[in-house]
Structure 1
Amino acid sequence: MAISPTISRRNAPLSGWRILVIEDEYFLADDISRALRSAGAEIAGPVGEVDEALPILNSGGVLDGAILDVNLRNEMVFPVAQELRARQVPFVFTTGYDKVSIAPQFRDVMLWEKPIDIAAMVRGLTQLIADRPA
């Protein structure tokens, strides 16, 4: 018996999509990655430093979305955000800091403050990816 694509997408809304996870808190990175996998996503990473993320971006692999911790061991993630934006890859930010820590050119990006509601964040990212131009 074939499964309806609608039902499949509802149960695994990120099925077939590759999501980059950049988070320097190990347990949070693991929780985010598990939530994304349970929604059907393939995970790129997780990585905890900008220098680890840039090779993933430049590897030529497809990325459909990303979750970026704003501050990675006192280094801001904005160079990665700039690359993702240039490639039209939807992404969201996570942070333990105030919204004022976001660079002005990224104030329009969906922001999830820690402690994160991971399920809501996954739903938000799913919607961003689904709404992107074809």
Structure 2
Amino acid sequence: MSIWWSLHLRREAASVPLARRLLLGTMETAGVDPDISYDLSVALTEACANAVEHGGDGAHGDPSAAYRVTAYLDGERCRIEVTDSGPGFTAGRPSRPAPAPADAEHGRGLCLIRELADHVHIGSATARGGAVVSFDKIIKWRNDAPLVAV
């Protein structure tokens, strides 16, 4: 079984729960184990929140700028990619960000994504800028899954 969808969303906080609900609904309908669905939905929420907060047009921070969420449920794996049009990641930025202090209000999203997913890629979308956060996880199915991969 293979399912994929892609959304272009405005860079607004209200777009984050929309992407999360679509992912959860797709996984529930397909019969993915609820714990796996939950982990991926939290990781997606963090990636979308980063795109909303940091994915604007550089210094201008245009709040109407869009970002894209693409999800692939293919066989035994789910892959999610969030791409924005912001300044991207700088070459000097560590590929594994240091954990934020426990009392910090920001800065834990990328570390959380790494904990919840099996494989994570964080990088620049193009040479002109933009960031891409992609992650995947092995799928476990419910016993009564209607769309179990064969």
Category of TM-score, reference length = shorter chain: under 0.3
Relative contact order (C-alpha < 8 Å, sep 6+): which is higher? Answer: 2
- Considering fraction of residues, name the structure with more strand: 2
Which of the two has higher C-alpha Rg?
2
* TM-score, scaled to structure 1: 0.28
* TM-score, scaled to structure 2: 0.26
